[in-house]
Chains A and B, each alone.
Chain A
């Protein structure tokens, strides 16, 4: 009995765009992810296509990420950043003249970054278009997520707010990809009953929950996470397969910790003379990542060893073989006890592959090629593919769950970040009140309502409470939340007073410019 493996890469970054600053630290999140994950991933999928490999892959591109990838300012800033990186790598080739190991790596960085720049130019800076074409060629399935990655269970008793997040995502997907999304990525895999109503309205057919979201469903799903269920509303729900998740993710057992792999943290931005690296840092006054790293994880005591790509590739090959063997064993064991082909749902943060885990994309490549070489008895599918082949499933209600630590909402609702909630809730109620107040607005009020909705959704992003909880750059997260809520408040006051300040509005539109066609009527 054949089985299926569904690889889902969830690509998401919060909307960070600061035209008011020449160089802005947090914008580098996007630039690093393009260089290390998104561009190389697109290349990888294109190579699979050229080599005629069966490698159906599901990719979430969140609306905020799509907005940034399509933004001309960020595109040109990325290009500047990449060119600076090439310049630094060229300097490094000279600097490492008497260190053969580092020098070979520096040369490889020059080569790699130069090829990426050529690729970037070849697609005319339009990475979104590259992924769209790959979907049109039936190589990948792109799914969407909530407009700004809001944790939807926290909007459970604010139906207009939940509806706004979901329908805005639907609209934006259409604008980006010229078709309707079939699948939906619940931000943070956060599920609670109630999301189905609006997913159904948006014509979205499936979503993924963490393992316990399905194993604790009611009634208990007969096949655990190895088959989807239908909610009573008719949406298919897949559960994360914990075994394949653990092998890649786990702190204790995960692949990315192999000592032969490149060390993420040892970057010349931290190690070399400040004056030398300063022009290439994400923020001129703070040490940070440049993307050039020479050490392997190494492990044990003593100094770090120089990174050896050939050694790392050996680790990749061995781990990919291990991953495939484990899936084969798992599916064979399931075949003995199931009466339908099992599906293993393996979702990961896309940025894990290439950014956090430098060799992650090589690992994916080795998995796909290994599966092809070994003629394995399972097929790579997207959830939509699977539902086309298998349309009969148990009806059950998933259990509230997330994939954050603890499996519930603790990451996004705790002492560090609970202060956001009352402000969000009032803003959500006020937006609905405004929408009802202006059923047929003029052009200026229409713009103000649209901007108010933009500010609200930006404040709702799951990223801000996450950062506040992790405590890594809480000032920035606080500024973002209070900034968006403050601008919302200004717009609310203007609209309630019936006097929109056009200049002020224009300023806000220039800064928080995502979702140009946002339809505020979704919040009615």
Chain B
């Protein structure tokens, strides 16, 4: 029996009640082929119902269009499960879920029935007659709406409502009947259909996730491997994702999990100089000809990256009045001999190297 996703709750959920006992079954269409069902039964009721079921567990039934004797899917649920991802065959169809079980001598007993949901369609709708409307954006919408709401509640379109209002004396409102659909030849239709078809075939999911992926890609093969491949549909009955699903981020940085890098022994070495000293707090000090800021007590401390080479570093202090001064000519030489592969950055793998996987995300899309 497949595991329930609800059993894999994080620690966070422990602070919230497992159930509220509202006795509601919520059904949502996640995409054209996956539904999500969630039910809120108290622990006692769940246990009691599971205990009385012939099979020892509850069952989720999925119906097309309306509840009937023959569901299109019947899913045996793990004991204790409170939610389920359900794969369905067709997009664009209305589904209703039923939670229940078969009880001895009674047959199927419905515990809860969900709201109906319509899964998104798989593709473009069939061509149909087109209706055009004129809705000037600067016509006070609120005033129109107030009048039109009632008409719209009666399942009329706004265009129809506008017509009705116009008949009722709102002469300034545009009439949908007066708006003629633009003249449209078959040749135009074919030509545009061709353009749209090309677009549909070249469709890609592009969002901030992809941008981070794009940038990460340049980090090299290891990054590519970790980033994972293209999006795949979930394949397990419980809606489990393919392991290669693209992880990603859509927004700025933050603490992240450390990257587990698949490499063996390694070594990075860098050298920096620290130049520090002190003088009168109001003196002017330059290092390599560049003025530096002194701390309030007149002390200073600066770092210098020291690559291989020979360097001179003049340090000069002048009194505030300019009538006194001191200087020091520092000379340095760095020469490094490496044995084996020695790099420079980062300094410590535990310090979460700058990799997309180690960066926190938020929103935005977003992301946003």
Contact = CB atoms under 8 A, between A and B. Distances in A.
B38 A463 contact: no
B203 to A, nearest CB: 6
B304 A94 contact: yes
B133 A409 contact: no
Contacts, number: 445
Interface residues of A, number: 145
Contacts of B290: 93-94, 97
B206 A286 contact: no
Contacts of A357: 211, 215
Interface stretch (B62-70, B101-109, B253-261, B318-326): B253-261
Contact of A234 (B31, B135, B302, B367): B135
Contact of A418 (B83, B192, B364): B83
Interface in A274-288: 274, 276, 282-283, 286-288
A467 B76 CA distance: 31
Contacts of B205: 403-407
B141 to A, nearest CB: 5
B281 interface: no
Given A249-B210, A349-B367, A479-B12, A426 B40 contact: yes
A351 B364 contact: yes
Interface in B328-368: 344-348, 351-357, 359-368
A14 B363 contact: yes
Highest count of chain A CB atoms <10 Å: which of B26, B211, B305: B211
A401 B19 CA distance: 30
Given A351-B252, A355-B252, A393-B132, A215 B199 contact: yes
B204 interface: yes
Contacts of A282: 253-254
Contact of A482 (B15, B136, B344): B15
B215 A356 contact: yes
B239 interface: yes
Contacts of B199: 211, 215, 224-225, 242-243
B35 to A, nearest CB: 10
Contact of B368 (A12, A408, A473): A12
A172 interface: no
Interface string A65-96: 00000000000000000000000001101111
Contact of A388 (B30, B125, B138): B138
Name the residue in B120, B138, B292, B345 with the highest tally of chain A Cβ atoms < 10 Å from its Cβ.
Answer: B120
Contacts of B210: 249-251, 254
Q: Chain B interface mostly helix, strand, loop or mixed?
A: loop
Contacts of A266: 345, 354
A391 to B, nearest CB: 5
B72 interface: no
Contacts of B363: 12-14, 149, 461-463, 466
B247 interface: yes
A270 B16 contact: no
Nearest to B306: A98
B211 A352 contact: yes
Given A188-B366, A415-B240, A29 B302 contact: no
A121 interface: no
A236 B257 contact: no
- Most chain B CB within 10 A, of A102, A466, A471, is at A466
Interface string A415-435: 100110111011001000000
Interface stretch (A160-168, A296-304, A361-369, A437-445): A296-304
B364 A13 contact: yes
A16 B181 CA distance: 49
Interface in B232-274: 233-234, 238-241, 245-257, 270, 272
B131 A425 contact: no
Contacts of A246: 202, 204, 206
Interface of A: 10, 12-14, 16, 25-26, 28-29, 32-33, 90-91, 93-99, 102, 149, 154, 156-157, 182, 187-188, 200-201, 203, 205, 211-212, 215-220, 222-225, 230-234, 236, 242-243, 245-246, 249-252, 254, 256-257, 259, 263-267, 269-274, 276, 282-283, 286-289, 297-299, 301, 333-334, 336-340, 349, 351-352, 355-357, 384, 387-388, 391-395, 399-401, 403-410, 413-415, 418-419, 421-423, 425-426, 429, 461-463, 466-468, 470-474, 476, 478-479, 481-482, 485-486
6 contacts: A266-B345, A273-B347, A406-B31, A410-B34, A422-B40, A466-B361
Closest 9 CB pairs of A and B: A478-B12, A408-B31, A219-B128, A249-B206, A234-B158, A232-B157, A265-B354, A337-B191, A29-B252
Given A406-B231, A466-B365, 15 more contacts: A13-B251, A94-B303, A154-B28, A215-B200, A220-B126, A249-B214, A288-B255, A349-B211, A349-B367, A356-B211, A388-B137, A399-B120, A400-B29, A403-B207, A425-B26
